[in-house]
Amino acid sequence: MAANRWMPERFDEIADFWANRLVMESAALDIYGQLAGGSLSAEEVAQRLGLEAQSTHLFLDALTGLGLLSKKGNRYSNSEAAARYLVPGLPDYIGHRLIAAQQSWEMWGHLFDALRSGQRQRDKHYFDDPEAARHSLLALHRDARSRAADILVRGDIDLSERHQMLDLGCGAGTYAVAFCRAHRQLHATLVDRPIAAAIARDVVASAGLEDRISVLEYDVDEHELPSNYDFIWISNVINARSYNANRALFERLYHRLVPGGEVAVHDMIMDDTRTRPARGAVFSVYMLLSNGVGRCYTFQEVFDWLDGSGFHDIRWVREAEDDMTLVIGTR
């Protein structure tokens, strides 16, 4: 999310959101899955998806114009890019990301209301909606696979002597799976709410790591956490919580670690101005809309929670290019 390239073209791109919505909707309708078996006419697509034929013509022509479909005579088929990225079930599928964005579209329409009231604009918590949570978690999973690989390649954390890790708010379990694959002595306990835990179990099973990774279903604010870990990983979790809830959580986590154990907080950690990384500043507005209590926190704030809980050797590990960075502390 570049902050310094504000040329007229970029303002044009911002205003020209119609194509964004078309593409998100096409993924949500699974147009590309319908066309995976071969070309179809607009009437056939309309019939399969319960749409009106003439509007489906317009829709498919627009997607063809955008390069996601190709059209021969009256028949449409997937372009090369759509066949690779937008057919569900394929390894490069990116549709979960588009569908998750589509599902938050209406909420963003209430930005002015949120700014005026300071109140969230969703009735229920995002993760209470199973479909929305599934798309969001699978979108994160796609992103996290390459992030986990980068963390391991860069050596941002040293797991060579670690044996028991806790992944708190594990989502799809992507990081723990990558870490356990890279370190054969490592065992992991993954903790999350039921929807995420079910996805994580599938990810762990397809990695063949059930003997070293267990997945527990629970809310960390409502249950006592297991203890005796030498590494706690908490990724993309603190940004959905209030300042005080995070402070209380780190006080509890300190006691779940053995002496010498480390906690690693992986998040969009902000600089003191709270404006960088830009993606984090934008995400904080999303959190205002989404749950009304979360935001991205500065390094100083995370430092204060860890320091106040008794952690020492607190350090910020960051790559200049990366929005997601790490704060590590030792018990």
Contacts with ligand SAM, residue ranges (CB under 6 A): 127, 137, 140, 144, 169-171, 174, 191-193, 196, 219-221, 235-237, 240
- Of 69 and 237, the one with the shorter C-beta distance to ligand SAM is 237
- Shortest-Cβ-distance residue relative to ligand SAM: 171
Closest approach of Cβ 216 to ligand SAM, in Å? 9
- Of 158 and 221, the one with the shorter C-beta distance to ligand SAM is 221
- Of 56 and 290, the one with the shorter C-beta distance to ligand SAM is 290
Gap between the Cα atoms of 76 and 294, Å rounded: 44
- Greatest CA separation found in the chain? 70
- Of 24 and 215, the one with the shorter C-beta distance to ligand SAM is 215
Asked whether the beta carbons of 190 and 214 are under 8 A apart, the reply is: yes
- Of 159 and 240, the one with the shorter C-beta distance to ligand SAM is 240
Closest approach of Cβ 43 to ligand SAM, in Å? 41
Closest approach of Cβ 138 to ligand SAM, in Å? 10
3-state secondary structure the chain: CCCCCCCHHHHHHHHCCHHHHHHHHHHHCCHHHHHHHCCEEHHHHHHHHCCCHHHHHHHHHHHHHCCCEEEECCEEEECHHHHHHCCCCCCCCCHHHHHHHHHCHHHHCCHHHHHHHCCCCCCCCHHHCHHHHHHHHHHHHHHHHHHHHHHHHHCCCCCCCCCEEEEECCCCCHHHHHHHHHCCCCEEEEEECHHHHHHHHHHHHHCCCCCCEEEEECCCCCCCCCCCEEEEEEECCHHHCCHHHHHHHHHHHHCCEEEEEEEEEEECCECCCCCCCHHHHHHHHHHHHHCCCCCCCEHHHHHHHHHHHCCEEEEEECCCCCCCEEEEEEC
Closest approach of Cβ 240 to ligand SAM, in Å? 6
Indicate the angle between helix axes 174-182 and 130-154, nearest 10 degrees.
30
Closest approach of Cβ 143 to ligand SAM, in Å? 7
Closest approach of Cβ 254 to ligand SAM, in Å? 17
Closest approach of Cβ 202 to ligand SAM, in Å? 14
Burial code (b: 16+ CB inside 10 Å, e: under 16) for 180-191 equals beebeebbbbbb
- Of 144 and 188, the one with the shorter C-beta distance to ligand SAM is 144
Closest approach of Cβ 141 to ligand SAM, in Å? 7
- Of 261 and 294, the one with the shorter C-beta distance to ligand SAM is 294
- Of 40 and 328, the one with the shorter C-beta distance to ligand SAM is 328
Closest approach of Cβ 306 to ligand SAM, in Å? 18
- Of 63 and 140, the one with the shorter C-beta distance to ligand SAM is 140
